[in-house]
Structure 1
Amino acid sequence: MYLSTLPRHEGSIVKIGIIGAGNIGRILAERLAREGHDVSIANSRAPETVDAAALSTGARAVWAADATTEADVVIVSVNYGQLPNVAALVSGAPENTVIIDTSNYFPLRDGKVEGFEDGQVESEWVQKLYGRPIVKAWNNITTASFRDKAYATDPATRIGLPVAADDDAQRAVGMRLVEETGFDAYDAGVIADSWRQQPGSPVYTNDLTAGELPAALARARQDRSAVRRDLMMKVYLERIDADGKEPDPERQLALTRAIF
């Protein structure tokens, strides 16, 4: 439905609105505009405060209220604690707009959300918040890997990213855009199973290839993911405390892999 009805320009979706101009949102704007999409991006402040790097390939900075207007795709790239602040904007997007969520829940940062500690799937909570279906994508890669490891030509090193959604056509849209940002997209099934790509799972920030993703997703344990998520954060914060700085990207990857 969505791929066949979305307007095209040289094979591209015309209107993409990005809410959130942080690390991931900024890179998404740059890459998707380079692919020929009509991209707008907004932060929580005024358009003139959006980082110029996000606009370097043709994306436009807009007010948040305008990012969803007539959009074919809306990408929400904010912290979990900020999702309620943008819920009305997302819910008010056109009926056929594909909503893609990149966020992850970390209780140390976002505060505890009732139900998550008992195993509620994060993206099911987001769907309920918005009152509409979402696609889960781009949530399991670090900023450094997203920035520096895209477009690898060797399948043995090209990172695969899982994409989950309840609607097959919406999932296909998400997968197509993941591919356009320089990674292999992997069909991760429905939102009820998207806990397998949340923090604390073997695929989270592990830089796995698409060929490695099926086995890693199968190893995920829903009853242990929250424990491992918090362990990962404790190890990471301990290294910051001990070294006086954040681990470099390869050290961070090694720490994550050691847990899994």
Structure 2
Amino acid sequence: MKIGILGAGFIGSTLAQKLAETGHQVKVANSRGPGTIDAVVLATGATAVEASDVVRDVEVLITSIPLSGMPGIRPLIDGLPAGAVVVDTSNYYPLRDGHVKALDDGRVESLWVSEQIGRPVVKAWNAILSGTLEAKGSAAGQAGRLAIPVAGDEAAKRIAMSLVEDTGFDAVDAGTLADSWRQQPGAPTYCTELTRNEVPAALARAEKDLLPGRRDQVMATIGEKFGSLTTDDIAALNRAAYA
């Protein structure tokens, strides 16, 4: 597929490498220009482009930028082909993004994102740590293969689920975009390294009112220990706090 990735942080960069490696035509852009994208990101075949080019002639656009930047990319999104699928990986962290009243009042994050950019989105790759995405993918059918929840409209969701599989993880149907709060920060399936068999029960256990408090509690703990925690440590912390 022809895929554009907007954002070259940890998640965006890893997706560019993995999807290009599996044969997709991938171009990646950030806010600072193609010359600032590390050569490692392009090593498997992805191409660095200007942000204005990343939306041209693509079938899928993956947005991997801080949630606070979503309103500002509306002009770029307006340049997408009409049939292109938008897959969003973002999460709301008030400490980083600033407070958004609608989200603090309980608006589902991905519904808010969709409203800001004027297009439907699919929620995927938001509920996985960057270290997990980079190092813990495995072949389909392998015992213990980790899973990623995917929420959105049916046809677009199927495309996103196929791409999730290409990155080395089982894709689990997490329902409609309105259901995607079940994979937001603070939920039992959020960055807890679960398998395909474990994700449905974790989605069902989510309690919306508890998510913000749990999210902020874990972020405070991570902040206190910043630099000393491994991916395994953070996943274990999430499992203990979000179960």
What is the TM-score with the length of structure 1 in the denominator?
A: 0.90
Alignment partner, residue 81 of structure 2? 94
Structure 1 runs (4+) deviating above 2 angstroms are 152-156
Alignment partner, residue 19 of structure 2? 32
Matched letter for residue 233 of structure 2:
R
Query: Distance between the aligned counterparts of 1:207 and 1:156, measured in 2?
Result: 14
Q: Map 1:51-200; keep pairs closer than 5 Å.
A: 51-151=38-138, 155-166=142-153, 168-200=154-186
The gaps in structure 1 that reach 5 residues or longer are 1-12
CA RMSD, 1 decimal? 1.2
Moved more, 46-55 or 196-205: 46-55
Matched letter for residue 234 of structure 2:
Q
- Secondary structure of 1:18's counterpart equals strand
Residue 151 of structure 2 contacts residue 157 of structure 2 at CA under 8 Å; is this kept in 1? yes
Residue 141 of structure 1 contacts residue 204 of structure 1 at CA under 8 Å; is this kept in 2? yes
The gaps in structure 2 that reach 5 residues or longer are none
Matched letter for residue 38 of structure 1:
Q
Q: Map 1:193-232; keep pairs closer than 5 Å.
A: 193-232=179-218
Matched letter for residue 129 of structure 1:
Q
Please state how far the C-alpha of 1:122 moved relative to its aligned partner.
Answer: 0.2
Query: Distance between the aligned counterparts of 1:246 and 1:118, measured in 2?
Result: 33
Please state how far the C-alpha of 1:153 moved relative to its aligned partner.
Answer: 5.8
Alignment partner, residue 253 of structure 1? 235
Residue by residue over 1:68-121, the C-alpha shift from the partner in whole angstroms, topping out at 9 and shown as x without a partner, is: 001110000011122222222023201100000001110000000111122110
Query: Distance between the aligned counterparts of 2:150 and 2:175, measured in 1?
Result: 7
Residue by residue over 1:14-54, the C-alpha shift from the partner in whole angstroms, topping out at 9 and shown as x without a partner, is: x1010001111111111111111111000101211111111
Question: Residues 124 and 153 of structure 1: is their aligned pair in 2 closer, same or farther, counting only changes over 3 Å?
Answer: closer
Aligned length: 242
Identity of aligned residues (%): 49
What is the TM-score with the length of structure 2 in the denominator?
A: 0.96
Residue 74 of structure 1 contacts residue 99 of structure 1 at CA under 8 Å; is this kept in 2? yes
Alignment partner, residue 49 of structure 1? 36
Query: Distance between the aligned counterparts of 1:181 and 1:25, measured in 2?
Result: 12
Moved more, 148-157 or 107-116: 148-157
Matched letter for residue 254 of structure 1:
A
Residue 70 of structure 2 contacts residue 117 of structure 2 at CA under 8 Å; is this kept in 1? no
